[in-house]
A and B are shown apart, each in its own frame.
Chain A
Amino acid sequence: MSLEIKDVEKLYKIVSTDTVIHALNGIDISLPAGKTLGIVGESGCGKSTLARLVTGLETPNRGGITWKGSPIHDVNKGSFSTKKSVVQLVFQDPYSSLNPRQRIGDAISEIITVHNLVAKNMVETRVSELLSLVGLADDLKNRYPHQLSGGQRQRVSIARALAAEPSLLVLDEPVSALDVSVRAEVMNLLLDLRAKLGLTYIFISHDLAMIRYISDLVAVMYLGKIVEFGSWEQVINDPQHPYTQALIQAMPDHTVIGNPESLAKTLEGEVPDPVNLPTGCAFHLRCVKATPACTVAAQTLREISSNHLVACMEA
């Protein structure tokens, strides 16, 4: 009983320059309910596109996404007849995530009143409940977004998403735009909510440390494909794909000090271009282990140990 993403492809055609952006090139994911999937990758890997597809903002060109067997779009739209939404979303930017002209209380209660999720006289109480759930004071109800800090706004975004009573929450870089000293609080809030409400998370980030902290499963993406997939221990402590290894090596780590050699093993080459996909394996141009065979055949995920998948023949 879970989220199934099967063979999903997504293209964007730019008419003016007659180019095609290959945002997602065949994504397969199976995520059990109640688990957290961390998706990590850099620019052009397609993680934000995947977020948009899972939440139904856009539809894939090929393949499908289902939740507990039903296609996600029908589930998300049609489910309003059952008055519960399956998937909700929290974005990165706390400043554009809230309508500047809408009070906090109204922002949170809007979904509740529009879909009659609780009785009219209970709406106020429900909003208070949600605010308290995310650790915000009740008097914030009447404030406007510009009166709140970035961290508070993110919590409001979370409360608003929870107001729709989702089973799956997609979080796209939820703490990246927050001050460093504020991030831990929001991360811990997410952990607590997950335990309390039994939520399934898809947590998207470029920050491997955050991914490691919150995820059960981790998917590493590169140029529209998943290059490695497994439990967090497998992927982060025993990475098999050269890109995952390079990514881990490149992450700034404050626990490793005074080691100038750590800067020596850098990954060469440029950020990949989703318009001009390389032939064969998308990573071969930057890969230290690349062989001539890598330029020919695109790599598919294969299992190298229990439930640990890698898309590389040199792994």
Chain B
Amino acid sequence: MTQPSLLSVKDLGISTVQDPRTLVNQVSFDIGLGEAVGVVGESGSGKTLSALSILGLLPRGVEVVSGSVIFKDKNLLTLDTEELRNIRGNEIAMIYQDPMTALNPVMKLGKQLLEVIASHGGINDGSQNQVRILLSEVGIPDVNRAMESYPHEFSGGMRQRIMIAMALLLSPQLLIADEPTTALDVTIQQQILALVSEARKKRNMSMLWITHDLGVVANLVDRLNVMYAGRIVESGTVEEIFRKPKHPYTAGLLSSLPTSTGTNRERLTSISGVPEKPWLVGNSCGFAARCSRAQARCHSEIPLTVTTDSSSVACFFPLGGN
């Protein structure tokens, strides 16, 4: 990595507070300036918790127990509430699956958006216009009327756009997206992905995109981290991961996905079993129980992460040799 990192997560560990169970285990990844990074995983992989911990938004009953999150030379995990609040929305913004979690249903849109600017002390005469321009950029038709409307008057796709506008208002350097398109129709999803891609490139903004859908990140991010049972099992460029996956889970996942094009209908190879729970993994490779390549070692030791150039894999017997 020759680029300086904008965000550097190192050895992040997250557990439940009461009767501690590991949910995220030794997770490390970097996001460079202007870089888009994806985190892919299934339910229980720990991808959402990892993202939420960056902005100190973990739910009650769950806490960070180890590691650091360095953002521009500051460890976000050690900042006090006021300092963190300055960063949220301002330097790091977040969008979610349900736009209604971001929007106040009883406040007019214009007012809400201006409030975002005001809360970071930047309100001035040009703010109204700033909001209008942004709403227009995200594709909201009839901006003036929109400013006077309430969130429920918009469709799901429109609300997503509004939430994106809200996130972009203060020109953050990093946008974290937690499955924002999962609940959308495919054609609307494509609109949102295109919008986000455009906006990101225009601003040279970094992005962390969380999803379970490999197809979505294929053309959206530069690099990808694959998570399983609370750990990162593989990371690399999209090209490396999709074309030459090294971890048996990644490879298994890819070959279990049907394609939507082509004339071939090969039988999908399935991975037997169910995704492992992170706290039951202990001193072993979380994927061992379902892995066709697993040997004795995999059940009794945690695989080390081996890095070559820009990619890394946590496996004793990766595909394509060590």
Contact = CB atoms under 8 A, between A and B. Distances in A.
A76 to B, nearest CB: 31
4 closest residue pairs by CB, A with B: A252-B215, A184-B270, A184-B256, A42-B185
A187 B253 contact: no
B268 A187 contact: yes
B275 A255 contact: no
A121 interface: no
Nearest to A271: B185
Interface in B233-265: 238-239, 242-243, 249, 252-254, 256-263, 265
Interface string A165-196: 00000000000000111111101100100000
A206 B186 contact: yes
A179 B260 contact: no
A180 B194 contact: no
A36 to B, nearest CB: 12
Interface of A: 42-43, 149, 151, 179-185, 187-188, 191, 206, 208-210, 212-213, 233, 236-237, 246-260, 262-264, 266-268, 270-271
B60 interface: no
A54 B212 CA distance: 32
A181 B253 contact: yes
Nearest to B269: A184
Interface residues of B, number: 49
10 contacts: A42-B187, A179-B42, A180-B42, A181-B271, A208-B260, A212-B259, A250-B190, A258-B219, A263-B197, A271-B157
Contacts of A246: 187
Contacts of A212: 258-261, 265
Most chain A CB neighbours (cut-off 10 Å) among B252, B254, B265: B265
B139 to A, nearest CB: 9
Contacts of B259: 209, 212, 253-255
A209 B259 CA distance: 5
B260 A236 contact: yes
Nearest to B271: A181
Nearest to A264: B194
Contacts of B213: 180, 252
Given A233-B263, A250-B190, 6 more contacts: A180-B213, A183-B256, A184-B257, A188-B267, A270-B155, A270-B158
A277 B146 CA distance: 24
A92 to B, nearest CB: 13
B194 A209 contact: no
B263 A184 contact: no
B214 A254 contact: yes
B156 A209 contact: no
B190 A266 contact: yes
A251 B256 contact: no
B257 A180 contact: yes
B117 to A, nearest CB: 28
Given A209-B258, A251-B215, A257 B239 contact: yes
A188 B238 contact: no
Contacts of B253: 180-181
Contact of A255 (B188, B239, B261, B265): B261
A149 B272 CA distance: 13
Contact of B263 (A151, A237, A270, A271): A237
B182 to A, nearest CB: 11
A257 B245 CA distance: 14
B205 to A, nearest CB: 15
Most chain B CB neighbours (cut-off 10 Å) among A151, A179, A236, A260: A179
B161 to A, nearest CB: 11
Contact of B257 (A209, A259, A260, A271): A209
B147 interface: no
Contacts of B268: 184, 187-188, 213
A84 B258 CA distance: 34
Contacts of A43: 185
Contacts of A180: 42, 212-214, 253, 256-257
Contact of B190 (A208, A233, A263): A263
